[in-house]
Structure 1
Amino acid sequence: MSISLLLDMAASSNPDRRAVVCGQVRWTVAELKALAQGGSGVLAGSGARSLVYVGTGGHLLPLLLFAAAEASVPFTPLNYRLGADALGALIARLDTPLLVCDDEFHEIVAREVSGSGVAVVRSVEFLEQAAVAEPVSVAVDPEQVAVVLFTSGTTSTPKAVELTHNNLVSYITRTIEFDSAATQDAALVCVPPYHIAGIGAAMSHLYAGRKVVYLRAFDAAEWIAVVTRESVTTATVVPTMLARIVAELQRTGATLPSLQTLAYGGSKVALPLLRSALHLLPEVGFVNAYGLTETSSTVAVLGPDEHRAAMTSDDPAVARRLGSVGTPVPGIELQIRDASGTVLPAGATGELYVRGPQVSGRYTGIGSVLDAHGWFATKDVAELDVDGFLYIGGRSDDTIIRGGENIAPAEIEDVLVEHPQVREVAVIGIDDPQWGQIIVAVVVPDGDREPDPEELRGFVRASLRGSRTPDRVVFRTTLPATPTGKILRRDLVAEYSSQPVPGGTAGR
């Protein structure tokens, strides 16, 4: 089954339903399908063997996604925030691409690929051509690659993740009920087009029968205005967006009466921020969605009922679930393994492995990295409790080894962020000749005044073993992060490794 069949089903069910809203663009399902079919003709005529997009997304994302599927070529949206050299390096790794670019990126991309023979077309030109081109009909093997996404490269060179039609369709059909949305349902999408959440949203809301409203550049005030103007019922944000939305709601006193569901993910949300959001929007159902590019988006979900139960429960085990990412979605299996590959019991911490038909685990130029039984190693440190709730403790690459003891940064971050004078924190390991590594807490203060480093160290020591106490505490106004809120730890490590960290190594 091709992902294009998701569009066919939606068009057969209700062709005149509003499907996509982006600025002045307001397409019905039938209009989206017609343009996607025309786009397939544009692709076929170009001779391209892949479709690449550099732009901010919006209505272009579903159009290009389904046009590529109709033409049976892979679709790759690239990170438009990258510099010319980085974009050029990624484009060079793709097979005979047709590049579609928004106006503001056309010049830089065209200049970068000049002389390579790669065809470049402006987004508006592609739309014009798709409106008049003859569609093509190409048979698609379900195991053929539908989407190629580059990982963020926060810890290494970006990998090109290959997601097949079967991977993506399995995710949608197992987690979404077809045409299940109410007539008035509308989803607000403001995640980047090159992120798996953007790809998933383009398919899932269409399949559910929900209007998709795109906000191409996030601004908290505009986000609130769009929710009100379009009567948005569901939205997805990353943690940095949630923090700004909460601050804007607190500043203005605005309300969101139409909003029924607010999903968050992409990286970990600090519990103080989550509690503030839950108190501020008590009628909204919060959803924590955890997934990876290699798993075709979400593999575990903490739903609204679990959020409410955790917020109000006197049972420590239930209350703790507010910090979990929930339980597996249908069709997904989870295991926690130790370094030797042994499956660990409930409550033990190790590396998370995932298995299911939506899991790809395949990279261009590398092939599949699934083990002999189809399990994918996520590189995430995790725990499954006795009731099957999953807790993510950060990346295994981020583990600090101090004096021979393995320390997960998240363990310390979860404590420090609860301090009233801490807004954000990232804990990193810096090489040290005596200890191997020392613990450095990089703190963004909540307010104009920096808290006393010794007070913060004592705050950690009161909750964790002395070996978890930060050796040093430094302050910044912001933390470097990807657009989806993932902290760029390697940038922090490079910065603080290359200069003396104030304060010296403190005692335990």
Structure 2
Amino acid sequence: MPEIASLADIARVHRELRPDAPALIAGDRTVTYAEFDARTSQVAQAMRAAGVRRGDRAAFLDKNSIEFFEVMFGLAKLGAIGVPLNWRLAAPELAQILADAGVRVIVVGAEFADRIEAALDAPADRITTVAAVVAIGEHPRRPRYDDWLAAHPPTDPGERPAPDDVAVLAYTSGTTGTPKGVMLTHTNYLSKARRILGHWRFRDDTVSLAVMPLFHQAGFGWAMIGLYVGCPTVVLRDVDPVAVLDSIERHRVTGMLVVPAVIQMLLRTPELDSVDLSSLRTLVYGASPISEDVLVKAMQRFDCEFLGVYGMTESTGSITQLDGADHDPVGRPGLLRSCGRPYPWVEVRVVGPDGRDVPDGEVGELWTRSAQNMAGYWNNPAATAAAITPDGWLRTGDAGRRDADGYLYLYDRVKDMIVSGAENVYPAEVENVLMSHPAVADVAVIGVPDERWGEAVKAIVVAAPGTAPTEAELIAFARTRLAGYKLPKSIDFVTELPRNPSGKLLKRQLREPYWKNVDRRIH
């Protein structure tokens, strides 16, 4: 196969190798690799006409669609940077990202057009770079995406991004409540893609299903591997368990990556009893906790190979894998609690507070080093320096241990991040919002066990003197300021929060009653 040196080359190479083969399938629409290459070239030309140049940023906001891939790979043909936006975010959160990234063009689905308009109505000194907003579907004022493309030829602009050029700016919430842009390069993506094919069981006859949100590594990171290989990728707009099962049967899907919450949904779906799953060979899971009970039931019902993975946005997704042979509930049940071993091209250390490796069996912070490590955080050298050591080790913020055979086991977050249905929620962000309510004197936000989502957000509130706020009142207040997945699912009221003599909240003490006798696993 000709060399693929950038994301742009994925479209270019497969136009030559398999022009008539299906690249993307969404609903009744199928796009061949020749059509995909032409459409991405049209995107590149349209972006260039809008003023996007090498290194500039353009954003995409919509649920999963073929247009997402056209935009992201079209930008790569310009050497520009794609900014996939989390469609769950509220307008103020989107405004913060658009301003920080200096976005020049926004492509937005009709469902989220009003939210983008609200974000752009933020103070003029915040967002000054946006030159064009393009709508997928009908919009009273904005150009339609298809018309926008039709005005430009399918001529490849011919830009060749350098391996270390940033391809994607993926925003993740920060512990201070400020989103951080993770700079992922062409090398980050392709160094993984070249090596992981066998580990994820991609073959010439693979049919891949992309169901997780594409703004996540669990979504785009998986789908990109299918395009790199040149296989068909079936794209589902949303996580709908019936649609997942129907797609497996209709398209003879052989592999997919999902989070544990989706596995639970599928197990509870009545249609599971009648659907033909015989084509499914590989089910990759990760990104959030999974119970052994759910895992074993899923292995029995889906009757395919299960692969558990662990990673983070900053490491371009998965860096460890619990292989199929390791899923042995009878012979080695303890391994089901593991997130596996590092890939051969990935280094992992377990590090103590003094910066030295701890012995096998002891808990420390996981550090990783590989070509998958991000280039850093956008416009944030201090955060970059805090996350990446001078010799290239990425501090994951996750606590775990390694056994004598090299298997890793995760225990808890070094920080207080909550993982709810594969979405990262930082308590400080939720706490800052609740503290702005006049009836809240003090608040702590923690993650508590949730059967469906792995963890749910809980707020523990001390009411201001003379007030009596209700749970519904505070959640409604937060709803206008936070994405839905960050909202507290429940609120407890207490007279005071436990703190140490220096005033630091004792969150572990708050969590203990909820996690007692619960096997808390983090992937």
Give TM-score scaled by structure 2 length: 0.74
Distance 1:497 1:295, change over 3 A: farther
SS state at 1:346 partner: coil
Per-residue CA distance 1:181-224 (angstroms, 9 max, x = gap): 55542111111121112221232001223210011111112211
The CA distance in 2 between the partners of 1:290 and 1:145, in whole Å, is: 23
SS state at 1:93 partner: helix
Tell whether the 8 Å contact from 1:154 to 1:489 is kept in structure 2 after alignment: no
Read off the aligned partner of 1:27 and give its amino acid letter: V
Structure-to-structure mapping, 1:122-201, within 5 angstroms: 122-124=135-137, 125-131=144-150, 132-133=152-153, 134-153=155-174, 156-176=177-197, 181-182=202-203, 184-201=205-222
Per-residue CA distance 1:445-472 (angstroms, 9 max, x = gap): 89xxxxxxxxxxxxxxxxxxxxxxxxxx
**What's 1:33 paired with?**
37
**What's 1:5 paired with?**
9
SS state at 2:350 partner: strand
1:110 Cα deviation after fit: 2.7
SS state at 2:248 partner: helix
1:490 Cα deviation after fit: 9.1
1:253 Cα deviation after fit: 4.8
The CA distance in 2 between the partners of 1:173 and 1:489, in whole Å, is: 35
Tell whether the 8 Å contact from 2:102 to 2:129 is kept in structure 1 after alignment: no
Structure-to-structure mapping, 1:401-420, within 5 angstroms: none
Identity of aligned residues (%): 26
SS state at 2:492 partner: helix
**What's 1:221 paired with?**
242
Match for 2:407 among 389, 395, 403? 389
Per-residue CA distance 1:276-319 (angstroms, 9 max, x = gap): 1112223x111112111001111011121211xx2120xxxx32
The CA distance in 2 between the partners of 1:154 and 1:199, in whole Å, is: 24
**What's 1:22 paired with?**
26
Read off the aligned partner of 2:239 and give its amino acid letter: F
The CA distance in 1 between the partners of 2:159 and 2:240, in whole Å, is: 40
The CA distance in 2 between the partners of 1:445 and 1:164, in whole Å, is: 36
**What's 1:285 paired with?**
305
**What's 1:373 paired with?**
391
Read off the aligned partner of 2:106 and give its amino acid letter: L
Tell whether the 8 Å contact from 1:53 to 1:99 is kept in structure 2 after alignment: yes
**What's 1:120 paired with?**
133
1:361 Cα deviation after fit: 5.4
**What's 1:413 paired with?**
none
The CA distance in 1 between the partners of 2:414 and 2:177, in whole Å, is: 13
CA RMSD of aligned residues (A): 3.6
Tell whether the 8 Å contact from 1:35 to 1:127 is kept in structure 2 after alignment: no
Read off the aligned partner of 2:341 and give its amino acid letter: T
The CA distance in 1 between the partners of 2:378 and 2:11, in whole Å, is: 27
Tell whether the 8 Å contact from 2:210 to 2:222 is kept in structure 1 after alignment: yes
The CA distance in 2 between the partners of 1:348 and 1:266, in whole Å, is: 23
SS state at 1:39 partner: helix
Aligned residues: 429
1:13 Cα deviation after fit: 2.2
1:499 Cα deviation after fit: 7.0
The CA distance in 2 between the partners of 1:156 and 1:389, in whole Å, is: 33
1:143 Cα deviation after fit: 1.4
Tell whether the 8 Å contact from 2:348 to 2:369 is kept in structure 1 after alignment: yes
SS state at 1:311 partner: coil
**What's 1:311 paired with?**
329
The CA distance in 2 between the partners of 1:187 and 1:32, in whole Å, is: 17
The CA distance in 2 between the partners of 1:173 and 1:497, in whole Å, is: 52
**What's 1:85 paired with?**
92
**What's 2:228 paired with?**
207
Per-residue CA distance 1:10-59 (angstroms, 9 max, x = gap): 33322211110011220111111111111111111111321100100221
Distance 1:445 1:228, change over 3 A: closer
The CA distance in 2 between the partners of 1:153 and 1:179, in whole Å, is: 30
Per-residue CA distance 1:154-183 (angstroms, 9 max, x = gap): 774321111111111111112226998555
Tell whether the 8 Å contact from 1:181 to 1:209 is kept in structure 2 after alignment: no
Read off the aligned partner of 1:290 and give its amino acid letter: Y
1:123 Cα deviation after fit: 2.6
**What's 1:64 paired with?**
71
Tell whether the 8 Å contact from 1:302 to 1:325 is kept in structure 2 after alignment: yes
Read off the aligned partner of 2:189 and give its amino acid letter: L
Tell whether the 8 Å contact from 1:79 to 1:194 is kept in structure 2 after alignment: yes
SS state at 1:43 partner: helix
**What's 1:260 paired with?**
281
Distance 1:397 1:235, change over 3 A: same
Tell whether the 8 Å contact from 1:56 to 1:217 is kept in structure 2 after alignment: yes
Read off the aligned partner of 2:492 and give its amino acid letter: Y
Tell whether the 8 Å contact from 1:205 to 1:211 is kept in structure 2 after alignment: yes
Per-residue CA distance 1:417-444 (angstroms, 9 max, x = gap): xxxxxxxxxxx9xxxxxxxx99999455
Distance 1:491 1:156, change over 3 A: farther
The CA distance in 1 between the partners of 2:219 and 2:17, in whole Å, is: 23
Read off the aligned partner of 1:75 and give its amino acid letter: G
Tell whether the 8 Å contact from 2:184 to 2:374 is kept in structure 1 after alignment: yes
1:362 Cα deviation after fit: 0.6
Read off the aligned partner of 2:258 and give its amino acid letter: V
Tell whether the 8 Å contact from 2:266 to 2:272 is kept in structure 1 after alignment: no
SS state at 1:35 partner: helix
1:147 Cα deviation after fit: 0.3
Per-residue CA distance 1:66-112 (angstroms, 9 max, x = gap): 11100111101101111112111211111242000011112321343
Read off the aligned partner of 1:126 and give its amino acid letter: Y
Tell whether the 8 Å contact from 2:208 to 2:223 is kept in structure 1 after alignment: no
Distance 1:178 1:128, change over 3 A: farther
Distance 1:376 1:130, change over 3 A: same
Per-residue CA distance 1:119-162 (angstroms, 9 max, x = gap): 10013533443354343122322211110011145774321111
**What's 1:404 paired with?**
none
**What's 1:355 paired with?**
369
Residue segments in structure 1 that go unaligned for 5+ positions in a row: 400-408, 411-427, 429-436, 447-486
Tell whether the 8 Å contact from 2:246 to 2:275 is kept in structure 1 after alignment: no
